[in-house]
Amino acid sequence: MVTKEDIMEVLRTCYDPEIPINIVDLGLVYEVAVKGNRVNIKMTLTTPGCPMYAVILDNVKQKVESIDGIEKADIELVWEPPWTPDRISKEIKPD
């Protein structure tokens, strides 16, 4: 059975092409729910007008749907709460 942790691990391989930080550590992933063979992801982008949004969302969908046992990934783009640099993981944020 695929777990939320499995999904998060795969999402750590997805990057914003303009920022060399994965989307999990960047703080863009707000929620992951696994329901059988489906995954629902709520995520945001660094800016509402991000020119790379389609690339990022396609990458997320493709990688999650490539996991054995997952048939469909639904990605919901949300803007609340708005992303700020404060959401970047403490492990990678410079002091």
Q: What pLDDT does residue 58 have? A: 96
Distance CA 36, CA 79 (A): 27
Q: How far is CA 24 from the centre of its chain?
A: 6
CA-atom Rg of the chain in angstroms: 13
Q: How much of the chain, in percent, has pLDDT values that exceed 90?
A: 82
Q: Is the pLDDT of residue 67 over 90?
A: yes
- Residue 56 · residue 44 · CB < 8 Å: no
Largest CA distance in the chain: 41
Mean pLDDT of 31-46: 97
Residue 68 and residue 10 in contact, taking contact as beta carbons nearer than 8 Å: no
State pLDDT tens for residues 40-66: 999 999 999 888 999 999 999 999 999
Report the mean per-residue pLDDT for the chain. Answer: 94
pLDDT at residue 95 greater than cutoff 70:
no
- Topology of domain 4-83, per CATH? GMP Synthetase; Chain A, domain 3 (3.30.300)
Token readout for 78 is: 């949300």
